[in-house]
Chain A
Amino acid sequence: MINTNKKIQYFLYQYTPAILLYTSILSEIDFNNSEFKYFSFNFAYILIFHYSLKREGSIGYIIIFIAGLFNDVVNGIPMGISSLTYLLLCAAAAYLRNITLRPNIIKDWFFFLITVMVLNLITFVYLIFFFEYKINYFDQIINIIFTFLLYLIFSHLFKIYDNVILGKFN
Chain B
Amino acid sequence: MESGRGDFIISLRSVFLKKGNQQKFSLLSLILFSIIFLILGSFNFKIINFNKTIIKEIIYFSSFIANIPENSIKKSFIKTKDHFEYYNDYLIVKNELQKLENRDLEKKIITFENIELKRLIDDYFVEDSKTYARVLTDKDSPFLRSIVINKGSKNGVKLGMVIYDDIYLIGKVVEVNFLTSRVLLISDINSKIAVTIQPLNVQGIMSGLDTQTGKMQYIKEDELINKDNQELIIVTSGSGGIFKSGIPIGKINLTDTLENKQNIIINFYSDFSQLKYVKILSHTKEYSNFDRSNKKNYEINNDKIFKMNSQKENIKVLQQQKIINDEVRLKFELENIKLKENLINTQKKLEEQNKKIIEGQNKSKNLEFLELNLLYGHKCRKNFFKPKLFMINTAEYRNCVLNKGLIKKN
Given A33-B141, A99-B11: A84 touches B70 (CB 8 Å cut-off): no
Given A32-B142, A91-B16: A69 touches B33 (CB 8 Å cut-off): no
Within 8 A of B (CB), among A34-86: 35, 37, 40, 56-57, 60-62, 65, 68-70, 73-81, 83-84
Chain B residue contacts of A139, Cβ below 8 A = 142
Q: B34 in the interface, Cβ–Cβ < 8 Å?
A: yes
Q: A30 in the interface, Cβ–Cβ < 8 Å?
A: yes
B41 contacts A78, CB within 8 Å? yes
Q: Which of B11, B15, B20, B175 gathers most chain A CB within 10 Å?
A: B15
Query: Nearest chain-B residue to A81 (Cβ)?
Result: B38
Q: A90 in the interface, Cβ–Cβ < 8 Å?
A: yes
A37 to B63, CA, bound (A): 25
Which among B14, B55, B190 is the interface contact of A133 at CB below 8 angstroms? B190
Shortest beta-carbon distance from B74 to chain A in Å: 8
A81 to B175, CA, bound (A): 18
Q: B137 in the interface, Cβ–Cβ < 8 Å?
A: yes
Given A61-B23, A79-B52: A98 touches B15 (CB 8 Å cut-off): yes
A166 to B35, CA, bound (A): 37
Measured as residues with beta carbon below 8 angstroms from the partner, the interface class of chain B is 35 or more
A83 contacts B142, CB within 8 Å? no
Given A56-B20, A78-B41: A73 touches B27 (CB 8 Å cut-off): no
Given A29-B70, A84-B35, A99-B11: A74 touches B52 (CB 8 Å cut-off): no
Query: Nearest chain-A residue to B39 (Cβ)?
Result: A80
Query: Nearest chain-B residue to A84 (Cβ)?
Result: B34
A40 to B211, CA, bound (A): 14
A80 contacts B41, CB within 8 Å? yes
Q: A23 in the interface, Cβ–Cβ < 8 Å?
A: yes
Chain A residue contacts of B189, Cβ below 8 A = 134, 136
Query: Nearest chain-A residue to B144 (Cβ)?
Result: A76
Chain B residue contacts of A70, Cβ below 8 A = 59, 62-63
Q: A150 in the interface, Cβ–Cβ < 8 Å?
A: no
A95 contacts B20, CB within 8 Å? no
A57 to B42, CA, bound (A): 32
A65 contacts B141, CB within 8 Å? no
A85 to B11, CA, bound (A): 20
Q: A104 in the interface, Cβ–Cβ < 8 Å?
A: no
Q: A143 in the interface, Cβ–Cβ < 8 Å?
A: yes
Chain A residue contacts of B16, Cβ below 8 A = 91
Shortest beta-carbon distance from A70 to chain B in Å: 5
Chain A residue contacts of B137, Cβ below 8 A = 28, 74
Query: Nearest chain-A residue to B188 (Cβ)?
Result: A134
Q: A140 in the interface, Cβ–Cβ < 8 Å?
A: yes
A80 contacts B190, CB within 8 Å? no
Interface residues, chain A, CB within 8 Å of chain B?
22-23, 26-30, 32-33, 35, 37, 40, 56-57, 60-62, 65, 68-70, 73-81, 83-84, 87-88, 90-91, 94-95, 98-99, 126-127, 130, 133-136, 139-140, 143
Name 12 extra pairs, CB < 8 A, besides A56-B20, A80-B41: A26-B63, A27-B139, A37-B210, A62-B23, A65-B30, A77-B144, A79-B52, A80-B34, A91-B16, A95-B12, A98-B14, A133-B190
Interface residues, chain B, CB within 8 Å of chain A?
7, 11-12, 14-16, 20-27, 30-31, 33-38, 41-42, 52, 55-56, 59-60, 62-63, 66-67, 70-71, 137-144, 146, 175, 182, 189-190, 210-211, 273
